[in-house]
């Protein structure tokens, strides 16, 4: 199975979008709690489901999910001075676990129907 350069560039772009949504969601969920948390999770859902619709593959969901996860993990690691992006509380935990759950749900959705395909069973 060969993978074209365009497909690789697309998956890398999705990973970058995932990192950007992770960074933005980290900022918004803490700044405007609880509405910011809902907005951040909606943006995460839109990215993951949109990537599924765009690519039609589970790898299409995995690429932005990896970028998103790397961004929020990097932001959650505190500096030696004690500064960190995420404060203690329920909001950051719900954002992290909720985003991971959304990624899993989008990746495990049934295969999308192909346009122009016959709805009948194979071999009939």
Task: Report pLDDT for 117.
Answer: 60
26-76 pLDDT tens trace: 999 888 889 999 999 999 999 999 999 999 889 999 999 999 999 999 888
Whole-prediction pTM value?
A: 0.81
DSSP the chain: ----HHHHHHHHHHHHHHHHHHHHHHHHHHHSTTHHHHHHHHHHHHHHHHHHHHH-SHHHHHHHHHHHHHHHHHHHSPPTTS--SS-SSHHHHHHHHHHHHHHHHHHTSPPPPPTT---SPTT-
What's the residue count for the chain?
Answer: 124
What confidence tier does 120 reach under pLDDT thresholds 50, 70, 90? low
Rank 1-10, 13-22, 80-89, 109-118 by mean pLDDT and report only the highest.
13-22
- Cα R_g (the chain), whole angstroms: 17
| Extents of the domains making up the chain | 21-77+87-107
């Amino acid at each position: 199975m060969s993978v074209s350069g365009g497909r690789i560039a697309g998956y890398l772009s999705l990973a970058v979008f995932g990192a950007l949504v992770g960074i933005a969601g980290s900022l918004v969920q803490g700044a405007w709690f609880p509405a910011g948390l809902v907005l951040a999770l909606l943006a995460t859902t839109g990215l993951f489901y949109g990537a599924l619709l765009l690519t039609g593959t589970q790898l299409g969901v995995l690429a932005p999910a990896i970028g998103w996860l790397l961004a929020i993990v990097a932001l959650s690691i505190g500096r030696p001075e004690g500064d960190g992006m995420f404060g203690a509380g329920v909001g950051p935990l719900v954002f992290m676990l909720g985003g991971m759950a959304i990624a899993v749900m989008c990746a495990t959705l049934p295969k999308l129907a192909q346009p122009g395909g016959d709805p009948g069973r194979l071999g009939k």
